[in-house]
Structure 1
Amino acid sequence: MLVKTSAVRLSRRDFCKGLFAIGASVCITPFFTSCSVISKQHFASAYTDKQGNHHVAWFNQNGDILGQVNLQVRAHDLCYVPRNNILLAFSRRPGRILYVIDLDTQTIINRVNSAKSQHFFGHGALSKDGKWLYTTENRYDDSYRAHEGIIVVRNTNSFSTEAQFSSGGIGPHQLAMLAHEDTLVVANGGIHTHPAKARAKLNLDVMQPNLSYINMLTGKVVEQVKPPDHQLSTRHLCLASDDTVYVGCQYQGPAHYVKPLVFSHKRGSKLNALQASESQWLTFKQYIASLAVNRNGNVIAVTSPKGGVVGYWNRHTGTLRQLTMNSDCAGIAPLESEFIASTGHGLLTSTGVKVEHPLHWDNHMIAI
């Protein structure tokens, strides 16, 4: 049910779709191990330095750091609001701070706290016009019983809350707007958490993950699909230009079980597992972190920091094209026909470029 928290009425125009991305920064001299290329794009990621301090940085596709800000807490994913030229950094679950970063001045201009008895899950999505921000959050009380996740709607001027509604499940994580519908797609991981228990997973035996589609005009769940195993936590996702959703899972069952971890979905159909052998799925160590479709739309890439591997699938056939070993791989973002990827060891890599920075990149990267 849609819950109004102010007198503002959210119209069809206001609830339009679109997920934007960009980059962030650091004053560090990189170490180049191969030739550079002409820069055409910017990217951003959170990182932690060698002293344990948290930051957000933006950089070009050559790996050149363009700027940085220091954060009080570790960030997870980012969003870019182009009309304000600001970057939004979401604190890692179960954090309660959203940072608003002015890219022109390289300063934090606002710190937005989640409501009392709510926390962020580290992700957000923007409307196409950049006026509205949608964040996945958890509402909790002093008990440790599971509560349904919520989507909170904020304007991108003052970042005050305008509305909130159910995410369709427990533990909503990454979300995105479909390009051709007034519809939000949310990966509900099914895992209940509570700030008093830090990052403990409180309901693994009874978790019920799903992928939910929500009509943004009504706040109602209009379609929902579940993975084939109730312990396949649907956590991260990305969209292709035709609104095919790719969702990456993190399996919470026995370590020796082999499960497909990446699925595709189109409205009105079932979840389809991408193709790989058991031995190939084993290399991912039951954990998918980031997903991206390249700009020409032919390849879907996913990272597994635990497995130290990046997988590349043909998007049209669902067949695995390549597995690349990349120790502690983290974020990935699209170039035209390829990708730029980061690692927890400080590397930024793409075709013809390998740049090392003395830091630890976090698990997500966004691109303009």
Structure 2
Amino acid sequence: MSLDEKATKPHDRLAKALTEDMAAVNALIRERMASEHAPRIPEITQHLVEAGGKRLRPMLTLAAARLCGYAGPYHVHLAATVEFIHTATLLHDDVVDESLQRRGRPTANLLWDNKSSVLVGDYLFARSFQLMTDTNNMRVLSILANASAVIAEGEVLQLTAAQDLATNEAIYLKVIRGKTAALFSAATEVGGVIAGAHENAVRALFDYGDALGIAFQMVDDLLDYGSASDVIGKNVGDDFRERKLTLPVIKAVAKADAEERAFWSRVIEKGDQREGDLEHALELMRKHGTLEATRLEALAWANKAKASLHALPAHDLRDMLSDLADYVVARLN
């Protein structure tokens, strides 16, 4: 899910506009990921935090707060909170998925072990709640605590739905709202709340983050079937090999005849995958137009994100957030 390319990209312009704030966030992250008694905690955390991620989620919090005129210090705490929650979920996800690579590097569970990854993830969740309470704002605590619960709920739902051909688009949307969009929307919403913004602005920021997160995950799922691995930090076809029912496959299953459905049942539900199956899966998705349909759906969510920004004051940061929504889907071109 990397958003790295040229300095002209919206993500990089956003980073440049928030340079001082992001420096403060990074300093706070380094301070709070330290552990006097368990040196493995900063070792594992630093491996992932410093692995080249672009800090998109904390930048959304900083941008939302600045866009709403915030001049205090606590947007930095909230941005660090968001990054800790995100990092904790990555550590847990890699254990659940038995992943060996993230952002082109070996995963923490491979370099250390599953127990360490889970426990350090737990530590980061605890640290995130300490950061939240520093703000003395019960509403942001409620928003981020709720997002943490929704993320966990989405991951559990994915466990039961990912390899079940009965999984439909409504269930898929619940899964990606949990695993991705919940933290995007919380990141933007708390920026508005800490700034004391009008409720219409806070709602607009939530809607922006929600739609952006959905578009982001749909694009990521689509790229798994058609992009160089260096763009997304994983190998093409990983989702297929891990038997994950993502939107392009769900749409193909819905249009499948009996023979095609038997194929999907074999490779997804039963896990009986053979040489050439990925290529055949791609043929079926192209036959039914599900790759293009997924692209159009992601584009619609990106446009919804942009439309949400109309309720916010004119600002360079607002323009960058709008451009970011375009860029998320432009990765498909």
TM-score normalised according to structure 1 size: 0.30
More strand by share: 1
TM-score normalised according to structure 2 size: 0.32
Where relative contact order (Cα < 8 A, 6+ residues apart) is larger, the structure is 2
